[in-house]
Structure 1
Amino acid sequence: MTTSTQERNCLICEVPISDCHLGIDSCRACAVFYKRVVSSNRELKCKGGRDDCIQENPTTACRKCRFQRFSEIYAKASESVEEIVIEKERKISGKRKNTLLDTDKDSLESEFIDHDSYSHCSPSSSSETPILDRVRQAYSMVCKIRKSGEFGTYTGVGCNDAVRKGKLVFFPSTYSRTIPNARIFYSAIIEFGDAAFEDYRNLDHEIKAFIANTTNNLFAALDSAYRAARYFPDEDTIFTSYTATLNIDSVESFFDDCSHEINLEEAAKEMRKNILRSEIPNKALFMKFRPTDKEFLALIGLSLWNNDIFTLNESLMSIVTKNREAILKESHVMYRNQGIIDYATRLGELLCLLVNIERKSFYSKEEIEVYRLMNLFNEAFDDIDQ
């Protein structure tokens, strides 16, 4: 550790730090505080009433001012990375075809759920679909956590190859980026469960981790299909994380920063096979049925309480069954409120979509074992297994 590194200070509370957290110069206490506030649904109020407590005293006990300061620094850190690719995007914007049809763009933006959808306000207590409302809040929180956390893993490397789509910048997926992004996602699933479902929140940490590990592939497959259909409907591009993309042509470059001794040809072949038999078909299915925002939320909620959970742990059967039934019940209310009476066929299509994506996500479990044998991603898988 160099002297210059030791002399850094937290950008929020100004205490001395020896390393950064969440991709910025922050102490562990501030980072933990930020994640807890993001995962809660409580509205923060300034103690002084002027939203300037932290300017007067960096070690303030005012939660709102501390959180606001952390959020501002996060935003600036993300913008500094994004600005690197703006000039490139301007030069080629006239050559790139917008993959979103103009006639569909407004409706997609009004319904699409991402990090910008997050609100600190709690869902209305008078809502007829409180679970779906909490799932919306929790999913957008997951998006916010992933976006903020993942930008801290790039450190400017490969920014010239990034692509801007609307407000987001997407980076080419690489081996070294996949591991930390996977850890962020795994942690975010636990935060999602805590925020969306009281039954999950009341479980022991070991059981929460078990559920997150069991649902990881299905949740990721749904999320990737949902976002790939939005941003890359006419391409073979898929998401490997919230900000990282991959396609058939870029598979070999994915392994450029892999430090392990591997058989590049075999590794690339295996990855292409996985993309072709699961990721691209998942996106095609999603685009075929085009779930609305609330339909997608129902699918995401069902993915957390998937059948594999009580198959592997019978003691959780009643909890899984209870929450699945509650989600489906609110789906009935959702259709009724939209004036749709004969919705049985539509609900059947969505459940078939979920089953098909769940079946294809099983391929990912097979891939994990193959990758282990090829000495790939063992760091990430070992962490999750623990």
Structure 2
Amino acid sequence: MSGQESMRCVVCGHISHGYHFGILACRACAAFFRRTVAENKIYKCRGNRDCPVNKEQRNICRACRFAKCEQLGMNRTDVQMNRDPIGRKHDPTKATVECSTSGCQITPIPTIITVITSESLEKQIYATTNPPTNLVPYADVGSWTTLERLRTGFSNYNTSQKSLYNVLYPGKMFADDAKVPMDRVTQSEFQKMERGCISLIYSMLNDFFLPYKDLEKETRLLLLHAFELRFGLMQGIFLTTKFVPPVPDNLWVVQYGQVLDENNMETFFDLDGNPAATAKAMKSVCNRLRKVRKMFQRQNTDETEVAAMAGVILWNEMNLLTPQWEPCSQIREQILGELHNYLISKNGLCGTGARIGSLMCAIHDLNTAAKEIREHQTMEKIFYSTTCAFDINELL
């Protein structure tokens, strides 16, 4: 090994690749500094501005890493804005989104998700003749990480669902503001709101779950049909666990303001040809979903984690529809990489792997529950000709 190869990066201690921006630095730290300056990024530390920056943990906090770069002598004026001085030049149209979270940065993972400018994003989102309506406005998402987009999309969906509830039940807006409504609903009331929620889910996927909107329309609808039930179950459990005061064990939030009473499910299935049999089948589903509910409560699962689960569920379903479409794996790796970094920044290294494992097990339980529900719906349509399901194509 030559003398230069043995010299270490003064920022993280990894093997350097010569002088970059005034100091000995490895390719990763040099690229990080150049990108930060060129894109005028501003980071915030979630700790006390003393996070470790070494070759094993340099990706934990971007704020502390950039501060250390400057403290050790990296010069902003040395950054050339029109080209990348490190490695090969890249086509800007093929630039990929960093696998990072707010306050964190990890080694880039190859992805098909491209960096989007605010102008191009606006053109893409509203390119359709009849774009889906979002009840909640949102900021430019072009420079966000994948996980930030997913979380914002999920948060907007929750707010939009609440707005939809107030539109359908305007009298509820004048009730006690401190009390979230808990209406024990029937299937017909549930479907009334679900029809609106389908459009909101479609809008969320188009605007935030890239590159969903770039798929063929037929593929988007097939994917929506596979995704919406799993997403609805997961979102309902999330709302159930975040309710204040806590929701009794026999109640399940199915949508904002609407709850299902597990002890009296026959009254819910007012459109069903055999409500007793359906209630019995749903009892089995509730038992399976209770595992997810308890896990959410035990781990205090937050919006970002649930949004990441939604992304994994969506692209898992896409992989089943088109197994040969390679970007599915790349997108899932991107999401899981950013989720891993997010959890490390939030909770530390200890337990992060087990926490992600619990989230993936929850996805399996949601898939199994959704499959049981679909199978029962199919049997209902065959033997009782019920109207328990509707065509998504009619709603979009």
TM-score (norm 1): 0.59
| Counterpart residue identity of residue 298, structure 1 | A
1:145 and 2:160 correspond: yes
1:200 and 2:212 correspond: yes
| 1:166 to partner: Cα distance | 4.0
Q: Is the 8 A contact 1:39 1:195 kept in 2?
A: no
Q: Is the 8 A contact 1:150 1:243 kept in 2?
A: yes
Query: Which residue matches 1:302?
Result: 312
Query: Which residue matches 2:371?
Result: 362
1:340 and 2:358 correspond: no
Q: Is the 8 A contact 1:170 1:244 kept in 2?
A: yes
Instruction: Indicate which of 346, 362, 384 corresponds to 1:374.
Output: 384
**SS of 2:181 mapped into structure 1:** strand
Instruction: Indicate which of 254, 270, 280 corresponds to 1:269.
Output: 280
Query: Which residue matches 1:7?
Result: none
Instruction: Indicate which of 235, 247, 251 corresponds to 2:249.
Output: 235
Distance 1:252 1:164 in 2: 30
Instruction: Indicate which of 251, 260, 285 corresponds to 2:265.
Output: 251
1:183 and 2:195 correspond: yes
Which segment is superposed worse, 221-230 or 196-205?
Answer: 196-205
Percentage of identical aligned residues: 19
| 1:227 to partner: Cα distance | 0.9
Length, aligned pairs only: 263
Distance 1:140 1:34 in 2: 20
| 1:384 to partner: Cα distance | 7.0
Aligned pair in 2 of structure 1 residues 376, 165: CA closer, same or farther (>3 Å)?
farther
| 1:169 to partner: Cα distance | 1.6
Q: Is the 8 A contact 1:171 1:244 kept in 2?
A: yes
TM-score (norm 2): 0.57
Distance 2:170 2:345 in 1: 47
Q: What CA RMSD, in Å, does the superposition of the two structures yield over aligned residues?
A: 3.4
Aligned pair in 2 of structure 1 residues 243, 187: CA closer, same or farther (>3 Å)?
same
Aligned pair in 2 of structure 1 residues 332, 371: CA closer, same or farther (>3 Å)?
same
| Counterpart residue identity of residue 304, structure 2 | K
Higher helix share: 1
Query: Which residue matches 1:121?
Result: 139
Q: Is the 8 A contact 2:141 2:149 kept in 1?
A: yes
**SS of 2:328 mapped into structure 1:** helix
| 1:305 to partner: Cα distance | 1.6
Query: Which residue matches 1:48?
Result: none
Distance 1:227 1:34 in 2: 28
Aligned pair in 2 of structure 1 residues 362, 385: CA closer, same or farther (>3 Å)?
farther
**CA distances 1:269-294 after superposition (whole Å, capped 9, x unpaired):** 3444433x334333123223332332
Distance 2:181 2:376 in 1: 28
Which segment is superposed worse, 376-385 or 184-193?
Answer: 376-385
Q: Is the 8 A contact 2:289 2:365 kept in 1?
A: no
Q: Is the 8 A contact 2:289 2:366 kept in 1?
A: no
Aligned pair in 2 of structure 1 residues 347, 173: CA closer, same or farther (>3 Å)?
same
| 1:136 to partner: Cα distance | 1.7
| 1:340 to partner: Cα distance | 1.7
**CA distances 1:142-176 after superposition (whole Å, capped 9, x unpaired):** 123322223444476xx8xxx97945323222121
Q: Is the 8 A contact 1:199 1:319 kept in 2?
A: no
Q: Is the 8 A contact 2:266 2:275 kept in 1?
A: yes
Runs of 5+ consecutive residues of structure 1 not aligned to the other structure: 1-31, 41-119
1:327 and 2:335 correspond: yes
Q: Is the 8 A contact 1:295 1:331 kept in 2?
A: yes
Distance 1:242 1:336 in 2: 31
Distance 1:371 1:382 in 2: 18
**CA distances 1:163-211 after superposition (whole Å, capped 9, x unpaired):** 9794532322212112222222222221111121331121222211111
| 1:352 to partner: Cα distance | 2.2
| 1:383 to partner: Cα distance | 5.3
